[in-house]
Amino acid sequence: MPGSQFVPRVQVIQPVVAAYRRPFFEALISSPSLQISVAASPRSPGLPDSVNCTSEHIDISHACTGLFGGRLLWQRGLRLHPQLGPGDVLVVTGNPRFLSNLPLMLAARRRGAAVAWWGHGWSATSTPGRAAVRMRLMRLMDAIMVYTETEVEDLAACGFDRRRLFALNNAIDQRPIQAARGQWSAEQLATFQREQGLTGRQLLLFCGRLRQDPPTDLDVALRALPMLSGRMENVELAVIGNGPAAARLQAVAHSLGIHQRVRWLGAIYDEARLAPWFLSATAFLYPGPIGLSLMQAFGYALPVLTHDRHREHNPEIAALRDGENGLLFPRGDHATLARRVAELCTDAALRARLSAAALNTVTRDYTLPNMVERFISAACAASAMRRPSGRAMPSLQSHATSAPP
């Protein structure tokens, strides 16, 4: 009917539906602005497994198969939604290794649907060849959704049309973190710290997978600890996580004579068990390429210490501002890291200022509702490029990072 409101159907293709991403999709599904369906694999190389989803709008049954020794990937059984047509949108994952995206993109274009790209503008693990393929594919898209404003600026500098670029400000659901924080009173936390021998100690916290590639660079933190002598000998490091580098890193700690100042806590996934460690820490330390764990640390009002090579991080590094909500040091420079730790541990005013700004970052700029609104704006913009004439879109406040018309 001419003039009727058109609600686009949006089919999202993802490698997996990780636990941290499920609240985002659930929020999209509940929005009246889009008709969302998600297709993914139960597991994919290098990623956490999909969580069980009961929603009829999320399908994680598409097994992922490696091709050519795992260099390329194929998600089996993917089909374009039967009702996807002009003005609707196919959103593919921004990883050129997934060859199964290509026939879907061609089929969507044949039907008159828009195609949008969602992923990193760059990645800490990208090779020049893979980055070149990614850029070429991105130029074919009606809309490009990246994680941060920084990536939008980078792509615009490469000649991409700003009207097609959208920054989602990649976020996690902070509600479980805030709930876990609320379960620990000052008295309960003091009891936990006494039981763990943390009273009078200053704790640096690492939380992540102990990878070999890309390396977590935890060696740098271990080598910084012996340099914290004298009144700084009360500084300890707690390591939450496991992985192929764990045994080697523990051996490094022994060889440096600091094994009594390092706590190897293993993998912990339950937020209620993570909370007391985060709440007892002075800072979150991640010497290697950081990603969404930065948002988790900020949710606990923890300043983040990490290296200064932005291109060797994941895009979420854009949320860290040196001297405002965290501190940077030259990658691999354990002596400078030690000085940064000492500066943070001895300056209560600095800690308080960084802590307040860290929490403000994830309660103001990098929030899940904001990310949902930005995704909707991007999807609607892509839809408008392929929408049949006479079909009006819902009225939405645009969060596109584009030049004014």
Mean pLDDT of the chain, nearest integer: 92
Same domain, 212 and 322: yes
Same domain, 46 and 159: yes
88 assigned to some structural domain: yes
pLDDT tens readout for residues 82-107: 999 999 999 999 999 999 999 999 99
Share of the chain above pLDDT 70, in %: 93
240 assigned to some structural domain: yes
247 assigned to some structural domain: yes
Same domain, 75 and 150: yes
C-beta pairs of 267-276 under 8 Å, 24+ apart in sequence = 267/240, 267/241, 267/242, 268/207, 268/240, 271/176, 271/177, 271/179, 271/180, 272/180, 272/183, 274/180, 274/207, 274/240, 275/177, 275/180, 275/181, 275/183, 275/184, 275/300, 276/184, 276/189, 276/192, 276/193
Mean pLDDT lowest for which of 111-125, 151-165, 330-344, 384-398? Answer: 384-398
Same domain, 234 and 131: no
Name the 3-class secondary structure at 171.
Answer: coil
pLDDT tens readout for residues 289-345: 999 999 999 999 999 999 999 989 999 999 999 999 999 999 999 999 999 999 999
Over residues 35-63, the mean pLDDT reads 93
Report whether pLDDT(127) > 80.
no
Report whether pLDDT(1) > 50.
no
Model pTM score: 0.89
Residue 55's pLDDT band (boundaries 50, 70, 90)? confident
Same domain, 187 and 335: yes
Over residues 264-269, the mean pLDDT reads 96
Over residues 52-59, the mean pLDDT reads 89
pLDDT tens readout for residues 361-390: 999 999 999 999 999 999 999 999 998 765
Same domain, 303 and 242: yes
Dihedral over Cα of 397, 108, 164, 293: its sign: positive
Same domain, 116 and 180: no
Same domain, 215 and 335: yes
401 assigned to some structural domain: no
Which residue range forms the structural domain that includes residue 36?
9-171+367-386
248 assigned to some structural domain: yes
pLDDT of residue 213: 83
Over residues 140-149, the mean pLDDT reads 95
CATH of the domain at 163: 3.40.50.2000
Report whether pLDDT(397) > 50.
no
Same domain, 111 and 249: no
Over residues 180-188, the mean pLDDT reads 95
pLDDT of residue 398: 39
189 assigned to some structural domain: yes
Same domain, 209 and 129: no
Same domain, 374 and 358: no
What is the C-alpha separation between 277 and 238, in angstroms, rounded?
8
pLDDT tens readout for residues 222-233: 999 999 988 788
272 assigned to some structural domain: yes
Instruction: Give the DSSP letter of residue 169.
Output: -
Number of domains in the chain: 2
| Backbone φ and ψ of 284, nearest 5° | -100, 125
pLDDT tens readout for residues 193-223: 999 999 999 999 999 999 888 889 999 999 9
Same domain, 104 and 125: yes
112 assigned to some structural domain: yes
